[in-house]
Structure 1
Amino acid sequence: MEAIRLHYTVPGDDFTRAGEASADLKSVLKKLGVSPTTVRKVSIALYEGEINLAIHAGGGDIDVEITDDAVHMCLSDQGPGIADLSLAMSEGYSTAPDEVRSLGFGAGMGLPNMKKYSDEFDIQSAVGVGTTVTMAVCLT
């Protein structure tokens, strides 16, 4: 199969649209006959990333490449960046404001779940510059 490339833009602070990319990608993967287990992993990892883009970064971009071997996802933003990556990767740690938490978001599981549900995970961040997360889920 020739690689399939998809691009999504996630608006900042719009929780009604956060989740559109993961829902669309889920639909594409199902049509391609990808296993339900793999579709679930991709959907969870990408949804968590979308929510993080909306909550913390003022929005951002997602580029997806589906190959014979994996679903590759790159999420990038020009948000405030992450000062302490180790702390940010800790389950339960969150910098989400109270109004976001009152909506049921910001439990501090976004980055840990992104790592948990992807087979490859990398995060690069610089304060004042932004963050780039790359993930891949193998097609098995």
Structure 2
Amino acid sequence: MTGGYYSIEQVFHVKAGDFASAGEASSQIKKILKQLGIDSTLVRRVSIAAYEAEMNLVIHSVGGELKLKVTPQSIVVTAEDKGPGIPDIDLAMQEGYSTAPEIARELGFGAGMGLPNIKRCADRLNIQSKVGEGTLLEIYFDIKAR
């Protein structure tokens, strides 16, 4: 890490169904983390999780926000949307389970690996969802002292 103590918060607005811009927010997150001198292995894990969360916003919601918060101890990526919600979180966490629409599948997305990949990359994961209201996904990464 460079420069010792820092704290950064950044918010990215993600539009539903905007596959042309999909991935831009997670690319910006990756760039910010690299500029902060975060360990490359951790940058990769955060980038993968952020991309999966961003794609879930594009595919499944009516749009939402992807937020990055970096402190000296941790990185938190939050995805929050107003949307259909997740009826069965345990089922949604199973590899291969997908509710993606045909348009997403035709573009090569919606394989049912988003939430499992996020969980695999994260140190901790919190999902709150209410059907008909939306979903809050909080993805936590610990920054180890070097």
- Please give the range of the TM-score, normalised by the shorter of the 2 chains: over 0.9
1:19 paired with 2:23, answer yes
* Equivalent residue number for residue 92 of structure 1: 96
3-state SS, counterpart of residue 43 of structure 1: helix
The amino acid across from 1:61 in the alignment is: E
| 1:2 Cα offset (Å) | 3.0
| Runs of 4+ in structure 1 over 2 Å off | none
3-state SS, counterpart of residue 96 of structure 1: coil
Aligned-partner Cα distance in 1 for 2:68–2:140: 9
**Equivalent residue in structure 2 for 1:30, among 15, 31, 34:** 34
| 1:59 Cα offset (Å) | 1.4
* Equivalent residue number for residue 125 of structure 1: 129
Q: TM-score scaled by structure 1?
A: 0.97
Aligned-partner Cα distance in 1 for 2:88–2:11: 28
**Number of positions where the alignment pairs a residue of Structure 1 with one of Structure 2:** 140
The amino acid across from 1:106 in the alignment is: G
**Equivalent residue in structure 2 for 1:139, among 124, 136, 143:** 143
Percent identity of the aligned residues? 49
Q: TM-score scaled by structure 2?
A: 0.93
The amino acid across from 1:80 in the alignment is: P
The amino acid across from 1:113 in the alignment is: N
3-state SS, counterpart of residue 116 of structure 2: helix
Aligned-CA RMSD value: 0.8
The amino acid across from 2:103 in the alignment is: E
